[in-house]
């Protein structure tokens, strides 16, 4: 694949991330689908995810009516860093496992899937609001942290990057253990 094509595809993924931060959290699933489909180079992919998140946070900050701007700010730590890290890790584990179950093993109806994803996301955001103003997505957390000039702190890295990655990896491993892939069917030779 040519470098120009990879950059265009990575830019497209950055736009999807921008829309995710600006619009609704359920579009995060389409970011993963686009990434998988385009099989982007990891370095470009992560850089543009972060850029898209910053762009989305800036856009929503500009588009929000003045009387509601005090409600913006993105995720913020409301407890000590270790409690916040555990909370963010557990919330990310739960949302990742829920998304995998809903998308892979859930209902076939896309409206029901979207409703289930939305309810799961809102439930977890409300659950984690007292701890971390949950992000459950490092790119989203980085976008808001950058806008609020909090992107270069150890707490930001620890709570909103390291622990969510651990939670997501554990959720994927758990999903694979609970729902192992089907064994490959042996090939039959035609006579």
Please determine, for residue 174, whether its predicted confidence score (pLDDT) is greater than 90.
Answer: yes
Q: What is the pLDDT of residue 168?
A: 93
In whole angstroms, what separates CA 65 from the centre of its chain? 26
Let me know if residue 31 belongs to a domain: yes
User: Do 92 and 117 lie in a common domain?
Assistant: yes
pLDDT, one tens digit per residue, over 88-143 is: 999 999 999 999 999 999 999 989 998 899 899 889 988 998 998 888 888 888 88
**What burial class does residue 166 get, using C-beta atoms within 10 Å of its C-beta: 0-12 exposed, 13-18 middle, 19+ buried?**
middle
Average pLDDT over residues 161-185: 91
- Residue ranges making up the domain that contains 138: 74-179
CA distance 112 to 106: 9
Q: With bands split at pLDDT 50, 70 and 90, how would you rate the model's confidence at 26?
A: very low
User: Do 106 and 147 lie in a common domain?
Assistant: yes
Nearest Cα to 95, choosing from 164, 16, 157? 164
Q: What is the pLDDT of residue 127?
A: 92
Give the percent of the chain with pLDDT over 70. 78
Question: How big, in percent rounded to 5, are the helix, strand and coil portions of the chain?
Answer: 75, 0, 25
User: Do 1 and 37 lie in a common domain?
Assistant: yes
Q: What is the pLDDT of residue 17?
A: 63
Please determine, for residue 60, whether its predicted confidence score (pLDDT) is greater than 50.
Answer: yes
Q: What is the pLDDT of residue 110?
A: 87
* Contact (CB, 8 A) for 17 and 56: yes
Let me know if residue 25 belongs to a domain: yes
Most confident of 57-61, 67-71, 75-79: 75-79
Q: What is the pLDDT of residue 88?
A: 94
Q: What is the pLDDT of residue 65?
A: 81
- Mean pLDDT rounded to a whole number for the chain: 81
Let me know if residue 186 belongs to a domain: no
- The residue that leads in pLDDT, 12 or 64, is 64
Q: Exposure pattern of 1-21 as b/e (b: 16+ CB <10 Å)?
A: eeeeebeebbebbbbbbbbbb
Nearest Cα to 58, choosing from 5, 21, 104? 21
Number of domains in the chain: 2
User: Do 104 and 158 lie in a common domain?
Assistant: yes
Residue 124 maps to which CATH number?
1.20.1080.10
């Amino acid at each position: 694949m040519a470098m120009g094509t990879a950059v265009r595809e990575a830019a497209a993924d950055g736009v999807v991330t921008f829309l995710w931060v600006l619009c609704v959290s359920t579009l995060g699933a389409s970011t993963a689908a686009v990434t998988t489909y385009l099989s982007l180079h990891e370095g470009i992919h992560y850089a543009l995810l972060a850029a898209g998140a910053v762009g989305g946070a800036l856009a929503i900050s500009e588009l929000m009516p003045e009387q509601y701007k005090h409600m913006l700010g993105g995720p913020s730590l409301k407890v000590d860093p270790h409690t916040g890290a555990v909370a963010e890790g557990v919330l990310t584990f739960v949302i990742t496992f829920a998304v995998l179950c809903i998308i892979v093993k859930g209902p076939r109806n896309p409206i029901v899937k979207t409703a289930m994803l939305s309810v799961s996301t809102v439930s977890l955001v409300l659950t984690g609001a007292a701890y971390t103003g949950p992000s459950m997505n490092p790119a989203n957390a980085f976008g808001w942290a950058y806008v609020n000039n909090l992107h270069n702190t150890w707490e930001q890295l620890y709570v909103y990057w390291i622990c969510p990655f651990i939670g997501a990896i554990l959720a994927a491993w758990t999903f694979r253990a609970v729902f192992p892939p089907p064994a490959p069917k042996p090939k039959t030779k035609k006579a």
